[in-house]
Chains A and B, each alone.
Chain A
Amino acid sequence: MDWLPILGVLIVVLGLALGSKFNVNPLISVLLGGFVSGLLGGLSVLEILEIIGTSFISNRTMILFLIMIPAIGITERHGLMEQMAHLISKLKAATPGRIAYIYQLIREFIVAIGINIAGQVAFVRPIIYPMARGSLGNKEISEDDEEQIKAMSAAADNFGNFFAQNVFPAAAGLLLIQGVMREMGYELTLTSLSRAAVPIAIIAAVYGFFYYTILDRRFKKGENK
């Protein structure tokens, strides 16, 4: 019965997939799945709690962005979003898709030179989404279009970040690859690894152009200029 710990994975996957239907929060599915996997994998309850505790504490960096929220939040109450929309409304050629795509390219560039920032928090929420929304002017748009613009802005950050990050020779991903491969007897240089990451970064940039051009079409309907 070596495969028993997989039941925990099943719980997590089912919980996430059916959770919104039956109103089960992802935190509960994850908690349950983790405990089931751990217990079936031969860990004691105390060991499981220790693993959860240690791992949560060392991953507080993931929510370090809490420190910037008050300073940004107060400017939002004084019109940060309105100012962003005002600035972008001056650009006649701007559309939600073009803004998102240009941001993807900028994000690819900065991550490729090794600058890793929480783009979703630092750029997408305060800058990119308001710019993308502002590009449609002050006209009313449907809630579905609103959601679409938000999703397009957030996706641009992920596309840019993921597919260009390993171009930087000291990227965390490359250090991990180097370490794992060394353990298994392959000595690889970071330069050779970073070179291998270039084609996908370029492909993502090219695909992004077409992708966002297609996504943009829905916003052109009904426009008379």
Chain B
Amino acid sequence: MFRSRRARIRSTVTAIAATGVLALTACAGGSGDEGSDGPVTLDFAFWGNDVRAEMYDEAIAAFNEEFPDIKVNVSFLGFPEFWEKRQIESTSGGLPDVMQFDYSYLRQYSENGLLLDLGPHLGEGIDTDPIDEKILDIGVVNDTTYGIATSTNAWTLYQNPKLLESIGAAPYEGGGSWEDYTDWVQATTDAAAAAGQPIYGGTDFTGRIQNFELQLRAQGSYLFNDDGEPGFDEDDLRAFWEQGAPFREGAGVPQQRLEEVYPLSGFDSAITASELTWDNFGAGYLGNLGEGYTELLLVEPPITEEGAKDLYLKPSMLHTISANTEHPEEAVELLNFLVNAPEVGAAFGTNRGLPASETQLEGVELGGLEAQIQEYEESISDRLGDPPAVPIVGYGSLEEKFRVIGTDLGLGVVTVDEAVEQFFTEMDVVLNQ
């Protein structure tokens, strides 16, 4: 209104031109790093904390000594944020070249074509000799290898010897039946009460889906098969959750007490003397328990069926390469180094679990706990069966639902029947996605 028509047209043209220039500059920025034969830059992402970040720095420095022409941009986040970011990136082909990867996402990402088929590189760029066949199989989805496991862990029963000593109780010997273990927990809780200490024998094991899986495997079944079909029905689940009744009636630590210390577990907080979990949790336990505790005990979990191969080795993490990488050869070099190099073993110790590759294991100086874990994994070798099918899409949320229902059972807000119904409803939703 204030200005003439011509002036207005002029300003409109300027505005359009300016927008165009902006867009052009932006485009130029996008194609900047193409067509260079010299140094190659790879993006590498992992989840972890400051401690692990320093270990990776050391590992990448060792890699650069061998491959000075490959520059590695390292990026890291906490576990949930890491996956949030990957989920968004995967929509636009923006995934990092090499990734530390979690087993539970392997199926989803590989079935969506986001990961590089490592098959042609096995034995070529990736040295497979030092890795057990069974462990290599872990990274296979629908007959194609998409990931290499860095390390493995197995299900175990951790105990806190110092805590047991303080209440004058003997540790659980390992094995035995689930009832034996329940009785031992009750006895330990009683002993603690007699000693006047607010300590408990253990946590309700029916809160963890892995214990359910263990019992199913012992009976020749599984949680989910490759087609995503469950290997159990309502009655199986009901029977399992009913085993937890003695714990909820006072044998184990009250759920309310556990809520107070969450996100730490009862075992982390020195209020329970035993916990069933993955064997790579040991270092974390010691860290969270603090300086007063230096020793842990690990024994095999209770046996459901004598002679059954119910335990298995799970990858604590894998390494994968994104399908859209511009430098697959170099990415393979990096992956191979991270999986096999003894220098990497030296940098990490067992931070990522017990190294799966023998050459990498050679670089690891096994301390007290690490040696114990290695011994443990050797001791259970005749109970080790084939790994289960790669987790179905949505397994993570089912595992979490299982945990939440376990908490509700512990708090007494749902009955076992209601719990079973809730879980099956959730499972329907996840399986039919």
A, B bound: no
Q: What is the interface of chain B, defined by CB distance below 8 A to chain A?
A: none
